[in-house]
Amino acid sequence: MLLRYLTILLFLVVITESDVSASENTGSLNDDSFELFSIDGYRLYRYRSPTPRTHEDGITITTDQLLELLTRQPQTVLLDVQPLRWNRVFLQTAPRHNLPGSIWLPNVGEGELAPEWETWFMHHLQRLTNGDKQFPVVIYCRADCWMSWNALKRAARAGYQTLYWYRNGVDGWAEKDLKTQIAQPQPFPE
């Protein structure tokens, strides 16, 4: 009887250890065993999930604050960074609505940005601000979207200092029944 008990106990220990080691070695995007942020602090996965209430590199603004800002400084740059599938051309399957006067720079909020996309983003920031790193820039996407958070962080690291994060993005704008425009992405050089 004691031998049978010890055999069962040993069997259970072996099975438990193999289950633990297997679960430690099978990290995937379906669990939380991977890093959500790069070493540089950019969000890498799950871009459509709750975002922080503030951004350390810019001023977080509400819809009412954005309207006030645009009244005081109508030349403010509005950057829409909503992602869009890319395969040597932008593959847009449905119209994108954004804030009137916005420039749409898709994909610049990716966590890991290829050098040509980084160059494209910096070129447009420089062009839209006339090289003035104090020029006001509002960066947005949709509500609960890390793309705008990443893009603002990237602009701040490039030296831009008057940055606003419109955290609720086009969703917050639409909730106030404000007019939108049909957007076209800025051409990406081939």
At 31-77, the pLDDT tens digits run 554 688 788 889 887 888 899 999 999 999 999 999 999 999 999 99
Instruction: Give percent helix, percent strand, percent coil of the chain, each to the nearest 5.
Output: 35, 15, 50
Q: DSSP character for 87?
A: S
Q: Which amino acid is at 110?
A: E
> Exposed/middle/buried for 155, CB within 10 Å: 0-12, 13-18, 19+?
buried
User: Which residues fall within 8 angstroms of residue 178, CB to CB, at 6 or more apart?
Assistant: 63, 67, 99
Fold category of 59-183 in CATH: Oxidized Rhodanese; domain 1 (3.40.250)
Give the β-pairing of 96-98 and 181-183.
Answer: antiparallel
For residue range 86-144, list pLDDT tens digits in order: 888 888 889 999 999 999 999 999 999 999 999 999 999 999 999 999 999 999 999 99
